[in-house]
Amino acid sequence: MKGICILGATGSIGVSTLDVVARHADLYKVIALTAHTNIDTLFAQCLKHHPQYAVVVDENKAQAFKEKLKNSAIPDIEVLAGTQALEYVATLANVDSVMAAIVGAAGLLPSLAAAKAGKTILLANKEALVMSGSIFLQAITESGAQLLPIDSEHNAIFQCMPAGYVTGRQTKQARRILLTASGGPFREMPLDQMSTVTPAHAVAHPNWDMGRKISVDSATMMNKGLEMIEACLLFNMQPDQIQVVIHPQSVIHSMVDYVDGTVLAQMGNPDMRIPIAHSLAWPERFDSGAEPLNIFAVRRMDFEEPNLERFPCLRLAYEAIAAGGIMPTVLNAANEIAVEAFLNEKIRFTDIPVIIERCMKKFVVKEAGSLEIILDTDQQARLVSRQIIEKLNN
């Protein structure tokens, strides 16, 4: 029996993880579940999975949650509040695996704590890796932690790597990664209409059902930009070894091109329970609950090169990793602030890359040599992005 802590249990990935875990109650025991504010979903999850700990980051909501538990069938669950509690539950002695499924920079410190504590980390929270880069990977190496990618593309790449492959290591046999992207909902929209896109429109993804932030990232293709950086880090490759491929059917989840000309692809229905089950069962396999792929219903698969004029966010991600140092941290923070402003209807869809680009121009590249530098850069870039948004609206 392995103990699991799910950071971001109430989100899209968290819910899918619990669905898979429930199918394998003989193998996994839920030790801790965490939420930001959504105590109704957390309560239902606690009733079903009976963890030892439940964390509610928002202090007021945590108080309300405690009251709710008192008069319930599960009064013995220990409720913790605040961000520090995330690190506490991610490093408990009886936790073997940590699902890092908090969205955005908020997931960095607990994921890093789990890495330092030598846990098996199932990494969905790509922003944490993009912003902290080599520091995160170093923590993994030093503690002997296991890092398994949950992002469907990176999980696919991992599955296509040579047997015994360890994330972060270079493999000379693989010369290129073909990172697939659906192209999001606006792949074919006339360019002059892109500025009229609403949040409701942007979060309705054609193939995947996901949280709001990553859905907007998919629509701008910043998601693919972050994933390109994530792939460079996880698989120790250079940006020019990662080719983004638009594949609207989302059946191939990415490919690895080997020196002998072999290209290995991983396929399946677009259902996040597949990479989640892969990582939970690894190095074995077990049922994920996903439907078997009906290859006859797929019928055809298309592949296109991405258009960087339509998707400037992807270009900015390439620029950020080429600049190196703190620039990916700046890119990520500016994007988080711009996406939030777009979701709150403060800016237009097409303002998102404008804000990120202006923000990046305000920073001089320096080495992202410590956690302090990274956290400080993250805060600075958020501040600068908010100022840019204010100027834009005046």
Residues that bind ligand NAD (CB under 6 A): 8-14, 35-36, 38, 57, 101-103, 106, 124-127, 151, 208, 210-214, 272
By beta-carbon proximity to ligand NAD, the closer residue of 105 and 359 is: 105
Do 35 and 16 meet the contact criterion of CB atoms below 8 Å apart? no
Tokens of 109: 């410190």
Tokens of 156: 């696919």
Contact of residue 127 among ligand NAD, Mg ion, none (CB under 5-8 Å per partner type): ligand NAD
Contact of residue 214 among Mg ion, ligand NAD, none (CB under 5-8 Å per partner type): ligand NAD
By beta-carbon proximity to ligand NAD, the closer residue of 8 and 353 is: 8
Alpha-carbon span 264 to 171, nearest angstrom = 15
Stretch that binds Mg ion, among 35-43, 149-157, 232-240, 344-352 (CB under 5 A): 149-157
Contact of residue 125 among Mg ion, ligand NAD, none (CB under 5-8 Å per partner type): ligand NAD
By beta-carbon proximity to Mg ion, the closer residue of 153 and 336 is: 153
By beta-carbon proximity to ligand NAD, the closer residue of 385 and 391 is: 385
Q: Which residue type sits at 225?
A: G
Among 151, 230, 351, 378, binds Mg ion (CB under 5 A): 151
Contact of residue 51 among Mg ion, ligand NAD, none (CB under 5-8 Å per partner type): none
Tokens of 222: 């910043």
- Which SS3 state, helix, strand or coil, does residue 17 take? helix
**Element (DSSP H or E) covering residue 81:** strand 78-81
In 50-101, alpha helices (H): 59-70, 84-90
Report the nearest approach of ligand NAD to the CB of residue 124 (Å): 3
In 117-170, alpha helices (H): 126-132, 134-143, 152-160
Contact of residue 14 among ligand NAD, Mg ion, none (CB under 5-8 Å per partner type): ligand NAD
147: closest CA among 119, 172, 171? 119
- Owner of token pair 């105590």: 39
Residue 271 touches Mg ion, criterion: CB under 5 A: no
Q: How many residues bind Mg ion (CB under 5 A)?
A: 3
Report the nearest approach of Mg ion to the CB of residue 214 (Å): 8
Strands (E), 247-344: 252-258, 263-267
Report the nearest approach of Mg ion to the CB of residue 393 (Å): 32
Spatial neighbors of 91 by CB under 8 A, at least 6 apart, are 113, 114, 116, 117, 119
By beta-carbon proximity to ligand NAD, the closer residue of 57 and 161 is: 57
Alpha-carbon span 74 to 308, nearest angstrom = 52
Alpha-carbon span 31 to 341, nearest angstrom = 35
By beta-carbon proximity to ligand NAD, the closer residue of 69 and 99 is: 99
Helix axes 327-343, 351-361, angle to 10 degrees: 150
Residue 127 touches Mg ion, criterion: CB under 5 A: no
Stretch that binds Mg ion, among 39-47, 150-158, 314-322, 343-351 (CB under 5 A): 150-158
Cβ-closest residue to ligand NAD? 11
Residue 336 touches Mg ion, criterion: CB under 5 A: no
Tokens of 86: 């995330």
Contact of residue 230 among ligand NAD, Mg ion, none (CB under 5-8 Å per partner type): none
224: closest CA among 247, 206, 201, 202? 247
Report the nearest approach of ligand NAD to the CB of residue 226 (Å): 7
By beta-carbon proximity to ligand NAD, the closer residue of 66 and 213 is: 213
Do 32 and 52 meet the contact criterion of CB atoms below 8 Å apart? yes
* Residues in contact with Mg ion by the rule CB under 5 A: 151-153
